[in-house]
Amino acid sequence: MQGCNEKYLWKKYPRNTWLVPILWEWNGIVCQRRVKPLDKTVTRRKLEYTRLQVIKQVPELEVYNCDLHNRENWGTYNNKIVLLDYGISPDVANMYKA
């Protein structure tokens, strides 16, 4: 379900450079462009600024318990910080851990 929602948001904001491009989605499985992990030199303050900019441009992501603060949900694409994923709660985020 979350993959379908992500595809919807990414398609709604196709020119938004804060979202890593989605290549395809099928039955909730999302395939995105490969990105580099978020550089360890990116400060918490920079990530918070980026998070606020994303919410400003994609207001649907201003969700209570959304885990946009999680560094693992971010990466770099074309030398810019991009959002890879968003979760609704720690329970949802934990579903994806091995």
The arithmetic mean of pLDDT across residues 54-58, rounded, is 89
Q: How far is CA 98 from the centre of its chain?
A: 19
Gap between the Cα atoms of 26 and 21, Å rounded: 15
In the block, tokens 């909730």 appear at 28
Residue pLDDT, tens place only, 21-53: 888 888 878 888 899 999 889 999 999 999 999
pLDDT for 6 equals 77
- 3-class state of residue 35 by DSSP: coil
In the block, tokens 């804060």 appear at 18
Whole-structure pTM value: 0.76
| Tokens describing residue 20 | 């890593």
